Structure 1
Amino acid sequence: GIRLDYQAAGIQTWPQLMSDAGYYTSAIGKMHFYPWDARFGFQHRVICEDKRWLNVRDDYFHYLRERGLRKLHGNEHAGYFENQGAIVHQLPWEHSWDRFVGREAVNFLDQYGSDGPFAMMVGFPGPHCPYDPAEDFEDAWNFDPNDMPAPSPDAGDTPKLRQGNIDVNKNDWNGVDIANFTDAQKRKVRAHYAGLVKQVDHEVGEVLDALRRNGLLDNTVVILATDHGDYLGDHGLIGKASFYEAAIHIPMVIQGPGLPVGQVSDDLVEVRDITATMLSAAGVAIPQHMDSRPLPGLGLTDEPARERIYGMLSDGWMIFDGEWRLSRYSTGEVTFYNLHNDPQEQVNLADHPSHRELRDRLSTELDQEIMRSVRMSMHDRLADLGGMAMQVEFGYEGRSRLYPFPVTDVTA
């Protein structure tokens, strides 16, 4: 998340930068802001937060209330616990989260799209636990579990990570126990997740139709992406929060004027690169301190593609070079997979003697990135006494300390 004193630290969010450049900025749907009703530079907001945030009185809450409806926990539905959260939602499709968000995005385009340049971010809550497609949306709830791809087996090399996943999902926000996660349950969860994706696919089509109807599609950059995936039973897990492929390797589709058509890229990129890509495509200068770069292959940058990508969680770090991924966790567990030879992450080579030199080299690079990141994150809190010592005013009594120091003079 973004720090609450970001403005005092000299940080501008991308919607602020776009707004300053003359774009009307809008955030519609799930944003996971804290506080949930913050704007962070967006001029227009319609809020439909996380499906599990039942007590948030957002715009969707009031929409339901005006119609005599309310947000429902997954456990208020038949079969919730037996099916590990795979249910059919009681609310009709017309009043579902994603239908609300899609409709509001279309309304924004119809009302404001022709007024001038705009930047709209749309967050669909649907593809997430609980796995709860609507009964009356085509056959979204009725995918055959037996048609779903089989989940990756649990290789048993990270038992502490799996126990943590079991424990966190027992909490009230979810309340399921996956300690004995059967193959039938995994396939049912996958089938319901496919239904949620189908519902979002419909809403994305509605937004694209609105762009086309308003004559905007040919001069609008459209990026379809997400923040994370879901294990859906891979490795005996659900949700996210570790560095397996199902959670961190996400889809991204981009189209727009002047951009290549039909091109598929396997360059190493990160979610944060979407920010620099949007700014560059909009003709907005990218701040020097921003740790983001335009996506390669789109004609927006001369920078080479990343040679490494790094990941951080609250309890772990990761480095990936396009073939090998090394992950280290606070549990003490280490995984080292060759994803070319082992895409299902079944053979942990962390302690294999023939790969020790490569593992040590990547581990050193990861340590260097961790230290760089920590140093940059502390910049605003560190007083440069060496630089100030020769300033006359430094010696005056009662001198107040500047906090936070602006981060804008730091190069990422």
Structure 2
Amino acid sequence: MKIKVAIGILFVLLFNSCSDSKTKKTEKPNIIFLFADDQCYNTINALGNKEVITPNLDKLAGEGVTFTQAYNMGAWHGAVCVASRTMINSGRFVWNAMTIEKQLKEPEVQSQLWGNLMKEAGYDTYMAGKWHVKAIADSCFETLGTVRGGMPKQTKEGYNRPLSPEDTTWKPYDTAFGGFWEGGKHWSEVLGDEAIGFIDQAKEKENPFFMYIAFNAAHDPRQSPREFVDMYPLENISTPETYMDKYPYEDQIGCGKGLRDERLAPFPRTEYSVKVNRQEYYAIITHLDQQIGRIWDALEKSGKKDNTYIFYTADHGLACGNHGLMGKQNMYEHSMRPPLMVIGPDLPKGEKVDMDVYLQDIMPSSLELAGVEKPAYVEFSSLMDLARQKNNESAYQAIYGCYKNLQRMIKKDGYKLIAYPKANKLLLFDLENDPLEMENLAEKEEYQTKVKELFLELVELQKSMSDSLDLEEVFTAL
């Protein structure tokens, strides 16, 4: 009799244990990561740019929390997106990410990457779109949609344009140029279709899912269907306040004619060429926005939305005519800051967080939501306490930025110091009073103490970043 009772108790315990395990498994939230390319923080209507049409991104902003001061650290070469994506998938700061990039195909290192960490946490993992990381995508995610390269193929007609209003050789809706149209359907639409297909399948499954949906938009060639371009008559596109026909240090900072991104518009810049580029930039963002809306609608129909967190960001920003620059290989706000929004069942709606963060903080945020203890090698910090308004202090005392050994930056307490070693030039901006970074204060006598203070802090920050560039050797006066 005692044996029967003992067996009965054991059976109940095992049943409860399995039942608890199953409950815990299904209680984990779904996580969707929506990743744009080359999208500047100020290209969303709800966040202040009334020229751009983004109803679905506006909805995301209204449904969750927007981090208004999110940054990318920079890059070790011209493909800034590679550095950004290596950082977010490995969890390492920029120079450590550069080091580990050479090891990303090794099984031990691949096991440490974002997708595999989520898989180990019990998630069905999905990836589609732009990968551009030296790791092998299908070794990081269980299910793949169409995986794309770094950018749609540009054509010679896509550069150095337009030279004048009569220069109409290249049109963003002409499918003959390939690019986003290669394969017959616009890449953003393919990505939307495939994401919806995965959500439709996932709604029938018990496991939580992690989706990594990486758009190539709004990268050049900035192509979209004609109806989207027609939403932006050229007379309604303003020239940026920071417009210049030539950036004075373009060659010393690696942003001259030798850089692919900068060759998209003529040298020197013209207001007309900048306006056309911005017209096409806004149009492809609005087209991307349409796909975001389709994914959102599919999530709502699936019945999974109430247990899903959505992260939206881009791998960096883009100049697109600001400061005489076209690319993202610079330390200005327009190129270092993407939008960053977080939506979830326990998060406030329509709130903004103004603390400095990095976009790569999304990776440890997802680990926290998945119940995964952050590995020691992950250097970025979770955003969730800030998003839930349980904390009002950034994890970072200052924001660091770099581009090759040609540019360095520190942002702290509302000021930004940029160093150009090859030009022996320092720039200081008061971001609170000069958010467009138009007045360099570095050579004004009353700001010399601030310049020296930030320079010394930048040197210390370099050490913590494993940055080997010796700024003190260049700027000996400081």
Using the size of structure 2 for normalisation, the TM-score is: 0.67
User: Taking every aligned residue pair, what percent have the same amino acid on both sides?
Assistant: 25
SS for the counterpart of 2:192 is helix
Q: Partner residue of 1:298? A: 387
**Which residue in the other structure is 1:324 paired with?**
415
Task: Give the C-alpha shift of residue 234 in structure 1.
Answer: 0.4
Q: Separation in 2 of the partners of 1:262 and 1:271? A: 19
2:412 alignment partner AA: D
Once residues 272 and 245 of structure 2 are traced to their aligned partners in structure 1, the CA distance between those partners, rounded to angstroms, is 19
Secondary structure, counterpart of 1:221 in structure 2: strand
Q: Which residue of 1 aligns with 2:123?
A: 23
Q: Deviation at 1:183? A: 0.6
Partner of 2:288: 200
Equivalent residue runs for 1:222-241 within 5 Å? 222-241=310-329
**How do residues 6-405 of structure 1 correspond to structure 2 at under 5 angstroms?**
6=104, 8=108, 12-34=112-134, 38-39=137-138, 41-50=140-149, 52=151, 54=153, 73-75=154-156, 82=163, 87-91=171-175, 95-115=185-205, 116-135=207-226, 138-151=227-240, 152-154=242-244, 158-161=248-251, 164-169=254-259, 171=260, 176-295=264-383, 296-299=385-388, 304-305=393-394, 306-315=396-405, 316-332=407-423, 333-374=425-466
1:86 Cα deviation from its structure 2 partner? 7.0
Q: Root-mean-square deviation (CA), in Å?
A: 3.0
Task: Choose between structure 1 and 2 for higher RCO, CA contacts under 8 A separated by at least 6 residues.
Answer: 2
2-structure distance, mates of 1:297, 1:143: 36
Following the alignment from structure 2 to structure 1, what is the Cα–Cα distance between the partners of residues 400 and 329? 15
Aligned positions, number: 353
Q: Name whichever of 180-189 and 332-341 sits farther off.
A: 332-341
CA shift digits 1:67-120 (9 cap, x unpaired)? xxxxxx344579955379973232397701111111111111112344221111
TM-fit CA distance, 1:145: 2.2
Shift of 1:9: 6.0
Task: Indicate which of 100, 103, 106 corresponds to 1:5.
Answer: 103
Residue segments in structure 2 that go unaligned for 5+ positions in a row: 1-85, 87-96, 469-478
Residue identity in the other structure for 2:266: I
- Quote the Cα distance in structure 1 between the aligned partners of 2:376 and 2:388: 20
Report the CA distance shift for 1:43/1:312 in structure 2 as closer, same or farther (over 3 A).
Answer: farther
C-alpha separation in 2, matches of 1:308 and 1:175:
33
Unaligned runs of 5+ in 1: 55-72, 377-412
Checking the alignment, whether the CA contact within 8 Å between 2:192 and 2:295 is kept in structure 1 is yes
For 2:162 and 2:252, the matched residues in 1 are separated by: 19
Separation (CA, whole Å) in 2 of partners of 1:196 and 1:178: 21
CA contact (8 A) 1:79 1:87 kept: no
Q: Helix, strand or coil: the match of 1:160?
A: coil
Q: Is the 8 A contact 1:155 1:347 kept in 2?
A: no
